[in-house]
Amino acid sequence: MGATTVGVIGLGYWGPNLLRNFAENEAAELRWICDADTSRLAAMGHRYPAAQTTTDYRKLLSDAKLDAIAVVTPVATHFQIAKAGLLAGKHLLVEKPLTATESEAEELIDLAERNCSTSIQCASTWGCFRRTSTSFGIWRRTIYRSWIT
């Protein structure tokens, strides 16, 4: 199995750390960088020139070669982006909290469980991880070694 192709949406506090970890991890291929701030996007695009850049997260969703998306945006946007990602068949790593409300979180978990080919993980603290599909291993293989470094 080849490297997991990954896109990162959000370049606030955690985004640049994830970019670095994915770029340095042999099990991952950093394919996309996305942020609304064009100056931050340009800076990270310069640092990781092999990755495509965009201000529109929907471009990541339409990329058939992209396996997984890390959502590192303000919590108010988590549900919309994560739901769209699951519907597009992408594996997701969502920064905590998963969503703004419990009902949104349950909807995402139900959607991931119904679609056994995708998984959704909540990250930042190990205690927040929840297995939601048979594809849990994709994130563990890709992130486990680099997430804490």
Which residues are annotated as catalytic? 96
**Strands of 10-100, DSSP E:** 28-34, 52-54, 68-71, 91-95
**Strands of 24-136, DSSP E:** 28-34, 52-54, 68-71, 91-95, 120-123
**Helix (H/G/I), strand (E/B), else coil: 58:** helix
d(CA 11, CA 38): 10
The answer to whether the beta carbons of residues 91 and 67 sit under 8 Å apart is: yes
Residue with token string 């994709």: 138
The answer to whether the beta carbons of residues 60 and 9 sit under 8 Å apart is: yes
